């Protein structure tokens, strides 16, 4: 298990979220810590898998795929690995998760129209490993994907070695 995030880590993630194009020097100025501290923190957050990328967030609806749906799949037992390859081959499948409960996999799909969604649902139904599917169409986004409220919900310890950060009052 990786070491827990401290207040500086969370503030660094918040700063990256607020100004994703900021460089290390700008982030160090915003947070009141040394450039090397920011770089070391970013390196550790990447190495431990907390930060998984810096690509742009893409709104699929604004990009022309305004119809989204969640689909649950029931599959043949022990076939998750092969299904992973088949789902990955469908560009309309934005993400898929193995789940507990009455279904085995939960997928999020995007389509340009209802007709496009129907074609994707038919393609899913034709997959030999899928025995049953159930879909629900998204009407609107109530809470967009997010992580910072979760990371910031609990008080976190101040960093052990960042005196300038503690002096500015940025820490916990």
Q: How far apart are CA 165 and CA 126, in angstroms?
A: 57
Q: Does the pLDDT at position 1 exceed 60?
A: no
Whether the pLDDT of residue 158 is over 90: the answer is: no
Task: To the nearest 10°, report the CA torsion of 147, 148, 150, 154.
Answer: 160
Q: pTM score, two decimals?
A: 0.80
Q: Tell me the average pLDDT across 124-130.
A: 95
Are the C-beta atoms of 17 and 51 separated by less than 8 Å?
no
- The residue among 166 and 94 whose pLDDT is bigger is 94
17-42, pLDDT tens digit by residue?
999 999 999 999 999 999 999 999 99
Domains and CATH numbers, the chain: 7-56 (1.10.10.10), 67-137 (3.30.70.920)
């Amino acid at each position: 298990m990786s070491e827990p995030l401290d207040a500086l880590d969370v503030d660094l993630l918040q700063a990256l979220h607020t100004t994703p194009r900021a460089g290390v020097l700008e982030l160090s100025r915003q947070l009141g810590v040394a450039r090397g501290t920011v770089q070391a923190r970013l390196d550790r957050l990447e190495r431990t898998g907390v930060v998984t990328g810096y690509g742009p967030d893409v709104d699929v609806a604004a990009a022309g795929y305004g119809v989204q749906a969640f689909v649950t799949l029931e599959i043949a037992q022990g076939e998750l690995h092969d299904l992973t390859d088949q789902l990955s081959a469908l560009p309309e499948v934005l993400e898929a998760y193995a789940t507990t409960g009455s279904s085995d996999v939960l997928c999020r799909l995007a389509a340009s129209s209802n007709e496009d969604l129907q074609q994707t649902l038919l393609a899913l139904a034709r997959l030999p490993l899928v025995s049953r599917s159930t879909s629900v169409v998204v009407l609107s986004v109530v809470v967009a994907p997010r992580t910072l409220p979760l990371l910031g919900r609990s008080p976190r310890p101040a960093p052990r070695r960042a005196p300038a950060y503690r002096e500015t009052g940025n820490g916990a």
